[in-house]
């Protein structure tokens, strides 16, 4: 199965700053079938990005995704207070779907 | 609007089984695969498997193979996840989720506690 490694584990930032989150796959993710989710405490995950770079419905344009193959990045242009949360990458290009371990963006 | 409504919290003994339901509405149930994802307390997300509601075909994560069964009842637009031979470390929130194919819609989660 494809192992996804996210870095950093924790990202301390302030509102207004730019956040760059990394997701590295143990083997190439076919068709760039890579998604990013945001999860806040006590809530279900929320889809942000799919197909590595396509924003899901209703997601603000400060969220952007990039990458292909084994290296993917989620960028949050200017952090809003509501963006402090845990972010997960997930690949759906193989028969065994997998998630990364998460990056916590904290103040 | 798409809604996934899951069954309520469960408390089970080690070695027992649990069956969680997920009722879908707001879309054609057979159009999207239904997935199950779990999250242990303070931990990350773990994909468990999917079912094709149209054919009934399933694909389980290797980690759960032999212990998990995912089924569906198309007449009531409901998917089920049964986990057998429960262990203490199966204590988690279990989510159903669906989309095309990325997981755009999620249920509210069902807490399953394994306790003696």
Flag if A99 and B106 touch (Cβ within 8 Å). no
Radius of gyration over alpha carbons of chain A, in Å?
13
pLDDT in tens, B46-61: 999 999 999 999 999 9
pLDDT in tens, A42-55: 999 999 999 999 99
CA separation for the pair A34, A28 (Å, rounded): 11
Q: Which residue of B has its CA nearest to A95?
A: B59
Flag if A97 and B44 touch (Cβ within 8 Å). no
pLDDT in tens, B60-108: 999 998 899 999 999 999 999 999 999 999 999 999 999 988 999 999 9
Q: Which residue of B has its CA nearest to A92?
A: B102
Of B46, B50, B107, the CB nearest to A44: B107
- Tokens linked to B9: 């919290």
Q: Does B95 touch chain A (CB under 8 A)?
A: yes
Which residues on B lie below 8 Å from A101 (Cβ)? 44
Is the pLDDT at A107 greater than 90? The verdict is: no
Radius of gyration over alpha carbons of chain B, in Å?
13
């Amino acid at each position: 199965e494809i192992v996804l490694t996210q870095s950093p584990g924790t990202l301390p930032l302030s509102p207004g700053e730019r956040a760059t989150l990394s997701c590295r796959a143990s083997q190439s993710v076919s068709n760039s079938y890579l998604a990013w989710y945001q999860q806040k405490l006590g809530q279900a995950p929320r889809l942000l990005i799919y197909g590595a770079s396509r924003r899901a419905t209703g997601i603000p344009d400060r969220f952007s995704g990039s990458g292909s193959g084994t290296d993917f990045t989620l960028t949050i242009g200017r952090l809003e207070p509501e963006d402090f949360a845990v972010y997960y990458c997930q690949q759906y290009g193989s028969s065994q779907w997998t998630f990364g371990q998460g990056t916590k963006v904290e103040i | 609007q798409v809604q996934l409504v899951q069954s309520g919290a469960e408390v089970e003994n080690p070695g027992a089984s649990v069956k969680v339901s997920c009722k879908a509405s707001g879309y054609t149930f057979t159009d999207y695969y239904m997935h199950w994802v779990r999250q242990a307390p303070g931990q990350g997300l773990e994909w468990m498997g999917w079912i094709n509601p149209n054919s009934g075909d399933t694909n389980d994560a290797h980690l759960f193979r032999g212990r998990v069964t995912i089924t569906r009842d198309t007449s009531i637009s409901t998917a089920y996840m049964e986990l057998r031979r429960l262990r203490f470390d199966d204590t988690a929130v279990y989510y159903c989720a669906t989309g095309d194919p990325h997981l755009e819609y999620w249920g509210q989660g069902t807490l399953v506690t394994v306790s003696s």
